[in-house]
């Protein structure tokens, strides 16, 4: 009975605390409304029933983390060079990348990697054709980007999630 009303008690309490911090008030009405919102939102979260991610190789996860950190640093330098060299012509464009990765968690991690790397952004993903579309700030060669995404990230994500 209690589990039905409070499926995630810790989440409910955290949501209440966030509500109180945002409202900056400890008035009884604020506490009551925050508690009701915390319970209702935790119940909605329970209805979503998000699937659990299953990482198969934690060593590859560490390799991926180091690789992404280095790539983000290098991309920051490349974008800074582009910005500072104002007279340089820019050839931005879109690249369609065929993927082998189908796991939703792997795709979510790939989206985070691509979007957090300066100079690139995840534009769309066609699940029926398994094609990822990205935008690249300085596009010199499409095949280089396809190979980079597939070799540096997708191969590791396949080992981790599929």
Q: What's the pLDDT tens digit per position in 80-123?
A: 988 888 767 778 999 999 999 999 899 999 999 999 999 999 99
Q: Across all residues in the chain, what is the average pLDDT?
A: 89
The pair of structure tokens assigned to 14 is 């955290």
> What's residue 66's pLDDT?
95
Give the domain extent around 22: 2-48
The residues that bridge with 124 in the sheet, in sequence order, are 133
| Position 60 confidence tier, pLDDT thresholds 50, 70, 90 | very high
Can you tell me the mean pLDDT for 60-83? 92
Q: Same domain for 32 and 70?
A: no
pLDDT class for 127, splitting at 50, 70, 90? very high
142 and 95, same structural domain?
Answer: yes
Does one domain contain both 44 and 84?
no
* In a shared domain, residues 34 and 64: no
Q: Indicate whether 66 and 115 sit together in one domain.
A: yes
Does some domain include residue 34?
yes
Q: Do 41 and 63 share a structural domain?
A: no
The larger pLDDT score, comparing residue 5 to residue 113, is at 113
pLDDT band at 1 (very low <50, low <70, confident <90, very high): low
Asked whether residue 129 is domain-assigned, the answer is yes
Does 136 lie in the same domain as 88? Answer: yes
For 21-52, the pLDDT digits (tens) are 999 989 999 999 999 998 888 888 877 877 77
33 & 93 share domain:
no
Q: Tell me, what's the pLDDT at 152?
A: 93
Judgement on whether residues 7 and 83 belong to the same structural domain of the protein:
no
| Residues 99/130, Cβ–Cβ less than 8 Å | yes
pLDDT confidence of residue 87: 67
In a domain, 20, yes or no: yes
The answer to whether residues 74 and 139 belong to one domain is yes
Task: Specify whether 80 is located in the same domain as 12.
Answer: no
Residues 74-84 have a mean pLDDT of: 90
Number of domain units in the chain? 2
Distance CA 131, CA 155 (A): 16
Q: Do 122 and 65 have their domain in common? A: yes
């Amino acid at each position: 009975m209690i589990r039905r009303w409070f499926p995630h008690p810790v989440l409910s309490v955290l949501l209440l605390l966030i509500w109180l911090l945002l409202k900056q008030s400890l008035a009884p009405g604020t506490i009551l409304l925050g508690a009701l919102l915390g319970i209702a939102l935790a119940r909605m979260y329970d209805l979503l029933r998000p699937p659990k991610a299953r990482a198969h190789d934690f060593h590859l996860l560490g390799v991926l983390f180091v690789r992404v950190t280095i790539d983000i640093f290098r991309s920051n330098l490349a974008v800074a060079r582009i910005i500072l060299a104002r007279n340089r012509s820019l050839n931005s464009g879109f690249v369609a990348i065929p993927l082998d990765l189908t796991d939703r968690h792997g795709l979510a991690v790939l989206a985070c990697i691509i979007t957090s790397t300066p100079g690139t952004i995840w534009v769309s993903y066609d699940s029926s054709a398994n094609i990822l579309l990205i935008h690249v700030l300085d596009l010199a060669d499409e095949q280089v980007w396809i190979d980079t995404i597939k070799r540096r990230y997708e191969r590791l994500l396949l080992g981790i999630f599929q």
